[in-house]
Amino acid sequence: MSIETIDGQEVIVVVTSPSPTFGIDDGVATEESTEPATKKRARGKAQVWDELCTVPSNEALTQWFKESETASGYKWCRRRTSYTSRGAKEYFQCTGAGCLVQLEALYESSSENIIISTNGKEHQHEERSHSGWGLSEETKSEATRLFRAGITKAPVMDSELRQLGFTGFTARQLTSFLARLRRQTRDESVLEEYSELSVWSSGGRNSPDGAASPPPKRPAIRIVAKSPPEPAEPPTMDEAAIAQLVASSLEAREQAYCAYSQFAVGAALLCADGHVVTGCNVENASYGLTNCAERTAVFRAVAEGRRRFSAVAIAAEMGDVFVGPCGACRQVLAEFNPEMPVILAKPDGQTKRTSMKELLPMPFLPKDVPFKK
């Protein structure tokens, strides 16, 4: 034991006796000596890492982890990587609930050795179930009753439970338990829907009298292509119709999934039969897979058998600027009506009218495809 001064504070450093390590020499394990424990600075505090052993390669490190997990039953998960003057460091955390034990693997830049160290903590694992841990049975029972009654939002259920006198739980615990209830409800609905089709629904493949039960009859599935009805006359584009179309686009904007850009867009497509089809932008962690609101509305309308459009309203918020469709959406809209009226709207109610002919003056249309039959 020694006392050192770091940033004006005395720190006691405990150095354990060297632990034997094993190297690899022609396939035979040989015992080697190790260096004393090393000390590092972690987040402003002095931390002692006790050196366990040294391995000569990545394959030996993998084998060491396998043997350690087999002998102790503890699993390890890689958490982060850092780089120092001595070499790269990888940190591993015990996967037990609430366990603070960590390992450090130092890849020495001066050699091919890998030094494995531990933070000296003891394994202490908490007993937790997967969902709803920490909630009392009374709280779970009441939460289940509220969920069956139609209260499925965590903030609303939290308020209801506390008004009924149920306390001693956190929002995280309640949210986890609600996720479990949703999964159970989904599984129950699936089993109920397909119970008549399952050969095991009655408890086995054979009937009670021992005779083989006949296979259940599956419902016939017919795919019928529906052609859009021909309207007697196009819908009237008066002020009331435009106001309704703008309101539909603003309502669709509320459903936008824009977790990355936070830029919500809604679109409302007025079909030739007077039906309004809405769409919103749907983003993706792979940014290129993001779909705009205008194309969402068009694809949805086509899937419903509608291909003649009379107008479109697009709602977005960008200060004083009215937001129009992007280039890809302009081409998709022009495919079905190159002169379609376009209404640009803001959440405060301001609107601006334009048309596809102004937004895309030289579109590439189906008549321009030379090999079209």
List per-residue pLDDT tens for the chain, 373 residues long. 555 555 555 555 544 444 444 444 444 444 444 444 444 444 545 567 788 888 888 888 888 888 888 777 777 888 788 888 888 888 888 877 667 888 888 888 888 888 888 887 887 766 554 445 678 888 888 988 998 888 888 888 888 888 888 888 888 888 888 888 887 877 666 555 544 444 444 444 444 444 545 555 555 555 555 554 454 466 777 888 899 999 999 999 999 999 999 999 999 999 988 899 999 999 999 999 999 999 999 999 999 999 999 999 999 998 889 999 999 999 999 999 999 999 999 999 899 999 999 999 999 988 888 765 5
In the prediction, which pLDDT does 91 show? 87
Give kind and range of the element (H or E) at residue 159: helix 154-163
Residue 95 burial by Cβ neighbours in a 10 Å radius (0-12, 13-18, 19+): exposed
Break the chain into its structural domains and give their ranges.
2-118, 137-189, 239-368
- Specify the long-range contacts of residues 266-269, CB closer than 8 Å, at least 24 apart: 266/293, 266/314, 266/315, 266/316, 267/292, 267/293, 267/294, 267/296, 267/297, 267/312, 267/313, 267/314, 267/315, 268/297, 268/312, 268/313, 268/315, 269/297, 269/298, 269/301, 269/309, 269/311, 269/312
User: Residue 88's beta-bridge partner residues?
Assistant: 83, 107
Distances (CA, A) of 326 to 42, 69, 100: 49, 54, 51
Nearest to 40 by CA among 100, 118, 99, 92: 118
Q: What does DSSP assign to residue 151? A: -
Q: What is the CATH number of domain 239-368?
A: 3.40.140.10
In the prediction, which pLDDT does 271 show? 92
Q: Is 294 a catalytic residue?
A: yes
In the prediction, which pLDDT does 5 show? 53
Global confidence as pTM: 0.40
The catalytic residue among 127, 193, 294, 335 is 294
- Specify the long-range contacts of residues 360-365, CB closer than 8 Å, at least 24 apart: 360/330, 360/331, 360/334, 363/330, 363/331, 363/334, 363/338, 364/331, 364/334, 365/334, 365/335, 365/338
Residue 247 burial by Cβ neighbours in a 10 Å radius (0-12, 13-18, 19+): middle
Which pair of tokens denotes residue 300?
Answer: 């949805």
- Asked whether 280 and 252 are in contact (CB, 8 A), the reply is yes
In the prediction, which pLDDT does 39 show? 46
